[in-house]
Amino acid sequence: MVGVGPGDPELITIKAVKALKSSDFIFYPDVTFGKNKAAYNIVKSGIEFIELFGGRDIATERLIPLEIEMKLSKGRNDELYRENAVKIIDRLKEGICSYITIGDPMFYSTYWGLYNAIKNEAAKNSAELNINIIGGVSSFNYSFNLIGEPYIIKNSSVFITVPIKKDLKEMEDEINFMAKKNAKPQVIVFMKAGGYLKNIMQIFKNSYIDNFKEGKLKLYLIERSRLLDGFCDNDLNLKIKINKDGSEAGFDFDYFSILIGVFL
């Protein structure tokens, strides 16, 4: 299980590179109902860099997609994980396999569902598995390098949350919990915030617009491993994206967007 980092191919670890070079087959998550092949794109765009480490080339035919539901889930993931586990176990009969995930396998990834499915399928066939987890640079850690803020210092705290399926009250309680702690800075991180940015920003606007204008609250948005400058105006309104023809494109933020609030 290989974490390939947040997006920049140069952030793949040497250990991950060695695992990929020695693998006979490399599986990657192919997200249903979309074009999200982030882990695949990292490896493909970094192949020239990876090949500097020697060994055989990472040929396209060695990269095998595994269908997985994420944003628009139809409740099929248990079935898909089982099917994917069977595919991997079949290939394990032929050689070493790696499964790549963006960021780190142990931090909000598809690893755990796939691992359980592989374990269950292997048990049915009384097969022994040797699974090696290779950590990667998570988008969470990388984001704080982008914004130039320490994510934790002495006496401060960090709260990491995902807004998916949460109502406004629950998200508001999470923000208030961090904002009202005495030691500063306090940091709240919303992972996978893309579809919920409008609601989250409205909560900040309702309760903490004065903090923002006084410089006691900083907000950062990271999308596709890039810091987006000017994503909101001075009144905490999200800036509507404009098409090339001048028409309004509305709000179109990536599923993996990360919103970070720092209370100073």
**Mean pLDDT, residues 138-158 taken together:** 81
Q: Which of 78-87, 145-154, 169-178 has the highest mean pLDDT?
A: 169-178
Domain count, the chain: 2
* Helices 168-179, 197-213: crossing angle, 10 deg rounding: 30
Cβ burial, residue 257 (10 Å; 0-12/13-18/19+): buried
User: Do 112 and 225 reside in the same domain of the chain?
Assistant: no
User: Do 161 and 228 reside in the same domain of the chain?
Assistant: yes
- Residue 214: per-residue pLDDT: 96
**Mean pLDDT, residues 236-259 taken together:** 75
Element (H, E) at 48: helix 47-50
The domain in which residue 107 lies consists of 2-137
User: Do 201 and 123 reside in the same domain of the chain?
Assistant: no
Which of 109, 137, 165 is the endpoint of a domain? 137
What does 147-200 look like in DSSP terms, one character per residue?
HT--S--TT-EEEEE--TT--HHHHHHHHHHHHT-SSS-EEEEESS-GGGHHHH
Q: Which of helix, strand or coil describes residue 9? A: helix
pTM over 0.85? The answer is no
User: Do 182 and 213 reside in the same domain of the chain?
Assistant: yes
User: Do 49 and 154 reside in the same domain of the chain?
Assistant: no
- Residue type for 80, please? L
Sign of CA dihedral 3, 49, 68, 103: positive
- Residue 135: per-residue pLDDT: 94
Percent of the chain at pLDDT above 90? 42
- Residue type for 168, please? L
pLDDT digits (tens, 9 = 90+) for 42-81: 777 666 655 655 545 566 678 899 988 765 556 687 889 9
User: What CATH number is associated with residue 222?
Assistant: 3.30.950
- Residue 189: per-residue pLDDT: 95
Q: Distance (Å, rounded) from C-alpha 150 to C-alpha 17?
A: 28
Which one, of 182, 191, 189, 190, lies nearest residue 156 by Cα?
Answer: 182
User: Do 158 and 106 reside in the same domain of the chain?
Assistant: no
Higher-pLDDT residue of 189, 53: 189
- Residue type for 24, please? D
Angle at 47 between CA 42 and CA 50, to 5 degrees: 100
User: Do 109 and 155 reside in the same domain of the chain?
Assistant: no
User: Do 185 and 71 reside in the same domain of the chain?
Assistant: no
User: Do 31 and 89 reside in the same domain of the chain?
Assistant: yes
User: Do 129 and 185 reside in the same domain of the chain?
Assistant: no
- Residue 133: per-residue pLDDT: 94
Cβ burial, residue 233 (10 Å; 0-12/13-18/19+): exposed
- Residue 205: per-residue pLDDT: 97
Question: What residue has token string 């850690």?
Answer: 141
pLDDT of residue 222 exceeding 80: yes
- Residue 17: per-residue pLDDT: 87
pLDDT of residue 132 exceeding 80: yes
Tell me the pLDDT of the chain averaged across its residues: 85
Lowest mean pLDDT among 24-33, 78-87, 116-125, 240-249: 240-249
User: Do 109 and 160 reside in the same domain of the chain?
Assistant: no
- Residue 67: per-residue pLDDT: 87
Lowest mean pLDDT among 87-96, 103-112, 131-140, 142-151: 142-151
User: What CATH number is associated with residue 116?
Assistant: 3.40.1010.10
Token pair for 50: 């990876």
- Residue 56: per-residue pLDDT: 53
User: Do 96 and 219 reside in the same domain of the chain?
Assistant: no
* Helices 111-124, 77-92: crossing angle, 10 deg rounding: 60
Which one, of 55, 57, 54, lies nearest residue 43 by Cα?
Answer: 57
pLDDT of residue 173 exceeding 60: yes
